[in-house]
Amino acid sequence: MLSAFFANFWRDPDRPIPRDEGVLVSPADGHVMFVRRERAVGRRPSKDELESGACESDSLTGDWFPEPPSNPLLFETEQRFEAVAKGQESENDVYRVAVFMSPLDVHVNRAPFAGTLHRMEHRTGKGLRRGPFVAAYKKESQYNERVRSVFRDANDVFVEVTQISGALARTIVPWLEVDAEVRRGQRYGMIRLGSRVDLRAPASLFTPNVCSAEEQNPSHPKGEFVQAGSSILFTPVND
């Protein structure tokens, strides 16, 4: 039974990749935990900012400079986001779709659009070589050990995909290097066992196309089930 479980876990089926113009496909298999409009309110500090004494420090998530970058939509560094209240939207907002991957789901991750793997960085909790490891189905797991990847397309549009380890899944395996060219739906890495993947995209350019668990839709009580590479998470705003 254990052998059958692991054989099922390591499966990597081919997927039909949508040809629709301008869409973002899911980077992961699983149920959509939530869809949220967010705004950057802080960022990882530079050396000078860290020495300035203006930074805020958290016991697990580390140090934050309490201002976003000049252009948050470039995703130049890891940023701290907060939800945007209705009526307070701005051009620099992003939408985040969080997908929970159970141990029974396919764990290969795929690129949301065609372009370049522009940036990749590994993050852990403050002072930890690995971890922390909150259960991936909890919202607080966003600061578990993680790998943040930024993809850039031919029109200089950037999206951020974060692979987040869970209580069981503690190994994130990238398969590509920075500056690698990717196709929409191309495999670029995986997370072993249960985990979570978040996709952030500019709210001025994309509209979410999925139903989350937070909506309490009786048709999708656990959130809509999506598949990496073939399910469309975002459509262009003009659609």
Spatial separation of the C-alpha atoms in residues 148 and 79, rounded to whole Å: 11
For tokens 């191309």, the residue is 186
Inside any domain, residue 45: no
Beta bridge partners of 101: 195
What gap in Å lies between CA 150 and CA 154, rounded to an integer? Answer: 14
pLDDT tens digits for range 99-129:
999 878 888 999 999 999 999 999 988 878 8
Give the domain extent around 214.
Answer: 2-33+99-236
Tell me, what CATH number does 126's domain have? 2.70.70
Residue 107 lies in a domain: yes
Instruction: Look at residue 67 and tell me if it is in a domain.
Output: no
Q: What share of the chain is helix, strand, coil (3-state, %, to 5)?
A: 10, 40, 50
* Confidence category of residue 1, pLDDT binned at 50, 70, 90: confident
Q: What is the pLDDT of residues 202-236, one digit of tens each?
A: 999 999 999 999 999 999 989 999 999 999 999 99
89 occurs within a structural domain: no
**Does any domain span residue 136?**
yes
Full-model pTM: 0.91
- pLDDT averaged over every residue in the chain: 90
195 given a catalytic annotation: yes
- pLDDT > 80? residue 83: yes
CA dihedral sign of residues 111, 187, 99, 210:
positive
* Mean pLDDT for the stretch of residues 157-161: 98
Between 130 and 8, where is the model more confident?
130
Contacts 24+ apart (CB under 8 A), 186-190: 186/110, 186/111, 186/229, 187/12, 187/108, 187/109, 187/110, 188/109, 188/110, 188/111, 188/117, 188/149, 189/108, 189/109, 189/147, 189/149, 189/163, 190/107, 190/108, 190/109
Residue 13 lies in a domain: yes
| pLDDT, tens digit (0-9, with 9 covering 90-100), for 164-211 | 987 765 678 899 999 999 999 999 998 876 689 999 999 999 999 999
The pLDDT of residue 6 is 60
Domain total of the chain: 1
Q: With pLDDT > 70 as the criterion, what percentage of the chain qualifies? A: 93
In a domain, 40, yes or no: no
Instruction: Tell me the C-alpha distance between 206 and 202, whole Å.
Output: 6
In a domain, 43, yes or no: no
Out of 26, 149, 165, 195, the active site residue is 195
